[in-house]
């Protein structure tokens, strides 16, 4: 008999467990090299660490302003101007959140009404669908296919209905490494303007880009007033545990988003916000180019190891993930194969189908992360080659 006291809310029943965390735990349990979850195994920049210690020693211990520490919002506005020629009002258009994760949830809860439709590209970062569901909106999926994951204008247009409220774009992309260029973004922008839709962009990998330029949807003509730009510090400064995310949105949308943020968290860690402000202000362009150079080396080691082991994969253009096709090695499904990789090769990955909603998507793919030290990636490549050679 079910105990009425033990029942959970209906909205939780639509949410599955995070496959990434599950595979992460399984990999750790079996002491595998963990290339499942996107967290670096190297240090954050010294300037951020020093600034965090200084803020704590300086007694920055109390609640920050809910929408974000004024210092941080000020340097963020300057950064958007300097890097992207984008005018952002620090008080009316910026919200600092507990990571891009809280940011995306606040955007969904602040801007979607029940029944609204939200277009999400597959393969996707796993939070977008659940965020829409939490807001009782309906995720509508558009599948982009490997190896190039190109956006088809006709297919996107066909999904738009009078209920479409938003299109979610993640560039550079997790899990594919695809970068949406100006032309792709213009296709989406044109449809947003024509059908009065908002664009929600997840730009958490904005600085991890191996070729081309990072184009902000919000800077395309007519898009500033209908774009919500989500980003954060986790990836740029290798501080995934600090939980500092950002939202830039026009004042009317920001007002709704901030109401949710205020009730859910009040705000994120005050001393760490101060430290991020110092980091953004003090780290010059050489930090960012140096970081990209290091990631490019890691990417090349990863790709070389995967290809030598028999995986097929496209070269990521940005971010630090690679979707690898294992059909030349095994005809198992992705979950069986990923579990066997942990147990027999000692390498943790995420099954490809967890990035798809549609039937059969990602069945012969697994995702590797390469935000790891070079020796970790070399060792992973060797283990994969040995595993594939054993058959």
Shortest approach of ligand PLP to residue 171 CB, angstroms?
Answer: 9
Please choose, out of 78-86, 96-104, 149-157, 340-348, the segment that lies near ligand PLP by the rule CB under 6 A.
96-104
Shortest approach of ligand PLP to residue 329 CB, angstroms?
Answer: 26
Q: Is the peptide bond before 147 cis (omega within 30 degrees of 0)?
A: yes
Q: Does 184 bind ligand PLP (CB under 6 A)?
A: no
Q: Distance (Å, rounded) from C-alpha 112 to C-alpha 135?
A: 6
Question: How many binding residues for ligand PLP (CB under 6 A)?
Answer: 13
Please choose, out of 94-102, 129-137, 359-367, 370-378, the segment that lies near ligand PLP by the rule CB under 6 A.
94-102
Q: Does 100 bind ligand PLP (CB under 6 A)?
A: yes
Q: Does 172 bind ligand PLP (CB under 6 A)?
A: no
Please choose, out of 142-150, 232-240, 264-272, 280-288, the segment that lies near ligand PLP by the rule CB under 6 A.
232-240
Shortest approach of ligand PLP to residue 4 CB, angstroms?
Answer: 35
Shortest approach of ligand PLP to residue 370 CB, angstroms?
Answer: 13
Residue 59 neighbours by CB under 8 Å, 6+ apart: none
Q: Please give the structure tokens belonging to residue 162.
A: 């009078």
Yes or no: say if 314 and 146 are a contact pair by the CB < 8 Å rule.
yes
Q: Which of residues 4-63 bind ligand PLP (CB under 6 A)?
A: 38
Complex with ligand PLP: residue 123 or 310, whichever CB lies closer: 123
Q: Does 101 bind ligand PLP (CB under 6 A)?
A: yes
Q: Which of residues 189-208 bind ligand PLP (CB under 6 A)?
A: 202, 204
Q: Does 135 bind ligand PLP (CB under 6 A)?
A: no
Q: Does 245 bind ligand PLP (CB under 6 A)?
A: yes
Shortest approach of ligand PLP to residue 1 CB, angstroms?
Answer: 40
**Out of 234, 268, 349, 354, the residue judged to bind ligand PLP by CB under 6 A:** 234
Please choose, out of 97-105, 112-120, 281-289, 332-340, the segment that lies near ligand PLP by the rule CB under 6 A.
97-105
Shortest approach of ligand PLP to residue 202 CB, angstroms?
Answer: 5
Distances 266 to 62, 65, 258, 262 between C-alpha atoms, Å: 11, 8, 9, 4
Please choose, out of 26-34, 80-88, 99-107, 269-277, the segment that lies near ligand PLP by the rule CB under 6 A.
99-107
Complex with ligand PLP: residue 76 or 204, whichever CB lies closer: 204
**Out of 45, 232, 310, 346, the residue judged to bind ligand PLP by CB under 6 A:** 232
**Out of 67, 71, 164, 170, the residue judged to bind ligand PLP by CB under 6 A:** 170
Closest residue to ligand PLP in the complex (CB)? 99
Shortest approach of ligand PLP to residue 6 CB, angstroms?
Answer: 30
CA atoms within 13 A on the CB side of 170: 24
Q: Does 254 bind ligand PLP (CB under 6 A)?
A: no
Q: Which residues are near ligand PLP by CB under 6 A?
A: 38, 99-101, 125, 170, 174, 202, 204, 232, 234, 240, 245
């Amino acid at each position: 008999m079910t105990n009425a006291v033990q029942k959970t809310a209906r909205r939780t029943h639509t949410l599955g467990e995070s496959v990434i965390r599950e595979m992460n735990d399984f990999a750790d349990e079996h002491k595998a090299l963990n290339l499942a979850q996107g967290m670096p195994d190297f240090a954050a920049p010294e300037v951020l660490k020093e600034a965090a210690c200084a803020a704590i020693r300086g007694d920055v211990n109390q609640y920050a302003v809910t929408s974000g520490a004024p210092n941080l919002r000020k340097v963020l506005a300057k950064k958007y101007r300097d890097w992207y020629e984008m005018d952002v009002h620090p008080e009316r258009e910026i919200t600092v959140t507990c990571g891009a994760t809280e940011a995306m949830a606040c955007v969904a809860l602040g801007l979607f009404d029940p029944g609204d439709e939200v277009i999400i590209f597959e393969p996707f970062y796993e939070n977008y669908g659940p965020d829409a569901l939490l807001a009782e909106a309906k995720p509508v999926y558009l599948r982009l296919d490997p190896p190039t994951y190109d956006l088809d204008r006709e297919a996107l247009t066909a999904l738009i209905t009078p209920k479409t409220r938003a299109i979610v774009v993640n560039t550079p992309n997790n899990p594919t490494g695809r970068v949406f260029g100006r032309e792709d973004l213009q296709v989406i922008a044109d449809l947003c303007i024509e059908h009065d839709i908002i664009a929600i962009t997840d730009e958490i990998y904005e600085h991890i880009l191996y070729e081309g330029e990072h184009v902000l949807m919000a800077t395309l003509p007519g898009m500033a007033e209908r774009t919500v730009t989500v980003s954060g510090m986790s990836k740029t400064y290798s501080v995934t545990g600090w939980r500092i995310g950002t939202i830039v949105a026009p004042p009317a949308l920001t007002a709704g988003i901030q109401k949710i943020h205020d009730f859910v968290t009040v705000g994120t860690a005050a001393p760490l916000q101060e430290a991020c402000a110092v980091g953004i202000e003090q780290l010059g362009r050489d930090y960012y180019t140096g970081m990209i150079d290091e990631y490019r080396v890691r990417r090349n080691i990863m790709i070389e190891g995967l290809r030598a082991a028999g995986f097929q994969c496209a070269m990521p253009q940005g971010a630090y993930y690679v979707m690898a096709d294992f059909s030349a090695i095994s005809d198992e499904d992705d979950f069986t194969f990923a579990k066997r990789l942990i147990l027999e090769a000692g390498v943790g990955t995420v099954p490809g189908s967890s990035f798809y909603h549609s039937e059969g998507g990602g069945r012969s793919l697994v995702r590797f992360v390469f935000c790891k030290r070079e020796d970790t990636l070399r060792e992973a490549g060797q283990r994969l080659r040995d595993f594939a050679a054993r058959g």
